[in-house]
Each structure stands twice: as C-alpha cells, then as structure tokens.
Amino acid sequence: MGVVSLKSATISQRNKVVFEDLDFKINSGEFVFLIGKTGSGKSSLIKTLYGDIQITSGDGNVVGFDLKKIKNNQIHLLRRKIGVVFQDFKLLQDMTIFENLNFVLRATGWKDKNKIKNKIQEVLRLVSINTPVEKYPFELSGGEQQRVSIARALLNEPELIIADEPTGNLDPDTSQTIMNLLKKLHESGITVLMATHDYNMIIKFPGKIFQCENGKIFEVIAKEN
C-alpha cells in the first residue's frame, strides 16, 4: 500500500462534488508535484489527505489511516505523521520561533522540556536556521519564515510532507533555496507532495507530476527545455 492511496473516491466540499471515482496513489519515497488551475481541486485534495475533509464514498488511506473510518479524536494522530507547509507560513505571530515549535510539540503530547528543546534545535539545524529562537515571525524574511514552517512540519518525523504552494510568496532565489531544502528532505527518505503553479521548479526539480482538471487527476510528463 502507498503512503497515499485513494480508490474510487468521491471528495465533496460545501455540498459540491470536487472529485468523483478518483484513483490516486503516492508510493513511499516519491516526490510528487500537483498542478492545476485555481479551482481545479488541489486544495480540496490536500485537505482530504490531512483529515480536514472526509471522502464521501470509495476508499482512502493516508500513512496507514483509513479516511472513511477515522474519527475526529484520531485526526491529530494522522497529522502527527504528516507535515504540512503552507504558502502563507501560518506561523503564530504573537509567539517566538521557539514558542511556535514548542506549541506544536506540546499539542502532540510532548512533555519533557529537555527533549522539547533538543528536538527544536534539531529541526532548526535541519533547515539551516541560525536566527535566534527568541525572534518573532514578523522579524524574519519570507524565506526564514518558510524555513521555520518546514521545521515545524518536521517536528514529529513525518512519513509525508504536504507542501501547498510553499514558494508562492517568495522571490525566485529564495524559492530555489526552499526547493533545495525540500529535495534534501526527500533524499533523506521523506515522501513529498507539493502543489505548485511554478512550472520552472517542476523542470528544475524532477518528480512525478499529477494534474487536477475537470474533476480528475492524471499523470503528465514534463517537457524538457
């Protein structure tokens, strides 16, 4: 079974069917790009994978969790095994870097202060953040904020990272740096699903490409320059 497996799945949002009879699979260790126009269903698919939307028919399994049977009080367990990176970072602006990461660890059951401190140092080192942890998100550049966001996604050693337009608010050079970081994490064994509009990144960083269109998802082959 793949890290992500949807079979004959129907996904609906606000009483509107977004995907019907959908088959979609991501195997362990793959780097997958998800492309498609605004409104094509990328966000609905991503929300389904981390338990924000339930499938209404068919079968779905993500990192070992049955998406049809998962209960509300189990969704936090699913999300421990998935790291999500957003376009707008979603860092808590009234908390320092350390407090943002500490908040997530506490919320997912960590209690030992020394273990928490060591884990935060470890993930910040992984994403090459040398900024003092006492700084607040608004004191950081966009690239630094996205690195902290990726560090947050790594806290519980996820099997899958879902990156939703992670370079959408960044300049080209910073985007390249963030992509290099995601590729490095992928090479360490983490499966990555990245939704993007940035076709230059798809050419520079090869992976599987799936397109959302007209309620379907299909694999496409990238054209080389």
DSSP letters spanning 42-101: HHHHHHHHTTSS-EEEEEEEETTEETTT--GGGHHHHHHTEEEEETT----TTS-HHHHH
Q: What pLDDT is recorded for position 197? A: 85
| Length reported for the chain | 225
| Within a domain: 61 | no
| Within a domain: 198 | no
Of 202, 207, 175, 174, the residue nearest 190 (C-alpha)? 207
| Within a domain: 153 | yes
Other CB atoms within 10 A of residue 37 CB: 11
- Between strands 208-213 and 216-220, the pairing is antiparallel
Order of strands across the sheet with 4-13? 16-26, 4-13, 55-62, 65-66
Of 110, 87, 207, 54, the residue nearest 62 (C-alpha)? 54
Host H or E run for residue 208: strand 208-213
What would the two tokens of residue 39 be? Answer: 């409104």
Global pTM reads 0.92
Q: What pLDDT is recorded for position 151? A: 96
Q: What pLDDT is recorded for position 206? A: 83
Cβ atoms of residues 95 and 148 within 8 Å = no
Angstrom distance (rounded) from CA 86 to CA 46:
11
| Within a domain: 52 | no
| Within a domain: 173 | no
Angstrom distance (rounded) from CA 47 to CA 30:
20
Q: Can you give the residue range of the structural domain that contains 113?
A: 91-157
Angstrom distance (rounded) from CA 75 to CA 195:
22
Angstrom distance (rounded) from CA 43 to CA 22:
15
SS3 state at 152: helix
| Within a domain: 78 | no
| Within a domain: 69 | no
Q: What pLDDT is recorded for position 48? A: 95
| Within a domain: 129 | yes
Q: Digits of tens for pLDDT over the chain (225 positions)?
A: 589 999 999 999 888 999 999 999 999 999 999 999 888 999 999 999 999 998 999 999 999 999 999 998 899 889 889 999 998 999 999 999 999 999 999 988 899 999 999 999 999 999 999 899 999 999 999 999 999 999 999 999 999 999 999 998 899 999 999 999 999 999 999 999 999 988 888 988 889 999 999 889 999 986 654
> How many domains in the chain?
1
